[in-house]
């Protein structure tokens, strides 16, 4: 699977990233996966992981 395929699947599952993707392409002229994920997806992933860790701590 290539990065373009991963991003296409991401946008299919999470259409809320569509505007960020379009902005990324307009600004960079091409897909730079490390930049796109770093600027958009990673922030949400970190928030989800922190929320999960926080919820697990409550259970202990």
If one counts the domains in the chain, the total is: 1
Pick the closest to residue 10 from 29, 28, 33 (CA basis): 33
Interval 1-15 mean pLDDT = 89
pTM beyond cutoff 0.85? no
**pLDDT at residue 57, rounded to an integer:** 55
Q: The domain containing residue 20 runs over which residues?
A: 3-59
DSSP H helical ranges for the chain = 3-13, 18-28, 33-36, 42-59
**pLDDT at residue 2, rounded to an integer:** 87
**pLDDT at residue 59, rounded to an integer:** 47
**pLDDT at residue 53, rounded to an integer:** 64
Q: 12-55, pLDDT tens digit by residue? A: 999 999 999 999 999 999 999 999 999 888 888 888 888 876 66
């Amino acid at each position: 699977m290539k990065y373009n395929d991963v991003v296409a699947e991401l946008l299919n599952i999470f259409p809320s990233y569509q505007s960020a993707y379009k902005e990324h392409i307009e600004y960079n002229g091409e897909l730079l996966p490390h930049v796109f994920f770093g600027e958009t997806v990673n922030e949400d992933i970190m928030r989800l992981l922190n929320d999960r860790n926080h919820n697990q701590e409550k259970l202990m």
